[in-house]
Amino acid sequence: MSTMTDALNTYRSGPDDHGHFGLFGGRYVAETLMPLILDLEQAYNEAKSDPAFQAELDSLNTHYSGRPSPLYFAERLTEHFAGAKIYFKRDELNHTGSHKINNCLGQIQLAKRMGKTRIIAETGAGQHGVAVATVAARFGLPCEIYMGATDIERQKPNVFRMRLLGAKVNPVTSGSGTLKDAMNDALRDWVANVHDTFYIIGTVAGPHPYPAMVRDFQSVIGKETREQMMEREGRLPDTLVACIGGGSNAMGLFHAFLDDRSVKIYGVEAGGHGLDVPNGHAASMTGGEPGVLHGNRTYLLQDDDGQILEGHSISAGLDYPGVGPEHSWLKDSGRVTYVAVTDKEALAAFQLCTKLEGIIPALEPSHALAHVQKIAPQLSKDNLLVMNMCGRGDKDIFAVAEHLSMEM
């Protein structure tokens, strides 16, 4: 096989030099930000090829975050579904309780390398905000987190955590006061403070180089999974399942396997009240159209006039009207299958996992588990299935109690 054929047959070489994944991605930002985005790209490329940068990140992942996260055989769920052999990649066991720390450790290292002295970030459910506040505390940089006023109300424990960690939490009241508005305001802060500020974006979206950079920092999930599965079963998994909001945990798991055609890959979006309910879901790919928002072209929830819709999900972490551009490209190329599950299905999976495995999952991976529940019974017993347990559910118990009409 020639190198040329290899190049054409890989799903792992994107983006191109301009940050495009086929039609998607790019750098749709105001001119004020352009020079900064170009500087960031250059700094990241230099860091990537510096062994000292990677060594420092590996050390932090091991000793601060607790990596590698275990690959756990979910025996009772496997028995219950009576089909595929189900493994969880336990990224909820990381320091701060989700996969978000993987990316934040990488970006704060880069911020320091670039001589930036101030950190900003957006957050929806607060998991990314907590991870940013954590690394900012650890590296002694002042930090401001933009969070929608609506989300502040529904995620009080995380707001308190961020404040304890020394971060300033700025309530965002513009628009509808949720994640997309928080991202707008973080971008506005960045435009006004470009000289000293580093913006830690929490997902595989935003202008190039963020989608590729966040993916690279998260791809430790898939690399570990590969090694751990080889060790446990002597071969690659057959099926991967992960939930998708912006899509960083999914990209992190999928990327190492994209060129292994035998591996069937599913991304699970938030179907909310159902894809047929107008503005009642947060499934950008299975229920949206391509458009341009927050610096990149990707599938978006939008109306006929190109105005962005709010969307809805029981999970604040999936409640984003866009998705990482690499996912949009993987969808159109057919390599990954994207599906949606509803709030109700996710809530049922949340309870099932808690009762059968003694693991309280976040509502985000509960969506992934709800899809596992649909496909596992149809798969053979030797089908090795890995689901990314990307976050723990402690933050969600209040919302779940409300949805189940239970007293706390």
Structure tokens at 13: 């070489």
User: Which residues lie below 8 Å from residue 290, measured CB to CB, with a gap of 6+?
Assistant: 23, 24, 297, 298, 299, 300, 328
The answer to the question of residue 164 lying near other proteins (CB under 8 A) is no
The answer to the question of residue 332 lying near other proteins (CB under 8 A) is no
* Nearer of residues 291 and 391 to other proteins, judged by Cβ: 291
Q: Contacts with other proteins: how many residues (CB under 8 A)?
A: 39
CA gap 391, 170 in Å, rounded = 24
From the list 11, 14, 27, 329, which residue makes contact with other proteins (rule: CB under 8 A)?
27
Whole-number minimum distance, CB 200 to other proteins, in Å? 17
Whole-number minimum distance, CB 22 to other proteins, in Å? 14
The answer to the question of residue 116 lying near other proteins (CB under 8 A) is no
CA gap 86, 77 in Å, rounded = 7
* Nearer of residues 161 and 294 to other proteins, judged by Cβ: 294
The helix/strand/coil state of 404 is coil
**Given 3-state DSSP classes, what are the helix, strand and coil percentages for the chain, each rounded to the nearest 5?**
45, 20, 35
* Nearer of residues 311 and 391 to other proteins, judged by Cβ: 311
In which residue are the tokens 């991202």 written? Answer: 183
The answer to the question of residue 191 lying near other proteins (CB under 8 A) is yes
The helix/strand/coil state of 173 is coil
Would you say 354 and 361 are in contact if contact means Cβ atoms under 8 Å apart? yes
Structure tokens at 313: 């999900």
The answer to the question of residue 118 lying near other proteins (CB under 8 A) is no
The helix/strand/coil state of 41 is helix
Whole-number minimum distance, CB 392 to other proteins, in Å? 31
* Nearer of residues 35 and 377 to other proteins, judged by Cβ: 35
DSSP string over 272-320 = ET-TTSTT----HHHH-EEEEETEEEEEE-B-TTSPBP----SSTTT--
The answer to the question of residue 114 lying near other proteins (CB under 8 A) is no
The helix/strand/coil state of 147 is strand
Whole-number minimum distance, CB 289 to other proteins, in Å? 7
Binders of other proteins among residues 195 to 214 (CB under 8 A) are 195
From the list 15, 21, 36, 229, which residue makes contact with other proteins (rule: CB under 8 A)?
36
Binding mask 4-23 for other proteins (x = CB under 8 A): --------------x-----
Burial 256-293 (b: 16+ CB within 10 A, else e): bbbeeeebbbbbbbbbbbebeeeebbbbbbbbbebbeb
Whole-number minimum distance, CB 306 to other proteins, in Å? 3
**Only segment of 25-33, 58-66, 157-165, 365-373 that touches other proteins (CB under 8 A):** 25-33
The answer to the question of residue 175 lying near other proteins (CB under 8 A) is yes
* Nearer of residues 173 and 378 to other proteins, judged by Cβ: 173
* Nearer of residues 292 and 348 to other proteins, judged by Cβ: 292
DSSP string over 64-105 = II-PSPPEEE-HHHHHHHTSSEEEEE-GGGSTTSBTHHHHHH
Binders of other proteins among residues 270 to 329 (CB under 8 A) are 289-295, 297, 300, 302, 304-308
From the list 188, 264, 273, 344, which residue makes contact with other proteins (rule: CB under 8 A)?
188
Q: What distance lies between CA 227 and its chain's CA centroid?
A: 22
Among candidate residues 158, 185, 161, the one with its CA nearest the CA of residue 171: 185
**Only segment of 79-87, 186-194, 248-256, 400-408 that touches other proteins (CB under 8 A):** 186-194
* Nearer of residues 172 and 253 to other proteins, judged by Cβ: 172
Whole-number minimum distance, CB 202 to other proteins, in Å? 16
Backbone torsions φ then ψ of 247, nearest 5 degrees: 105, 20
From the list 22, 28, 117, 335, which residue makes contact with other proteins (rule: CB under 8 A)?
28
CA gap 404, 348 in Å, rounded = 10
Whole-number minimum distance, CB 31 to other proteins, in Å? 5
Contacting positions for other proteins (CB under 8 A): 18, 26-36, 174-175, 180-181, 183-184, 187-188, 191-192, 194-195, 289-295, 297, 300, 302, 304-308
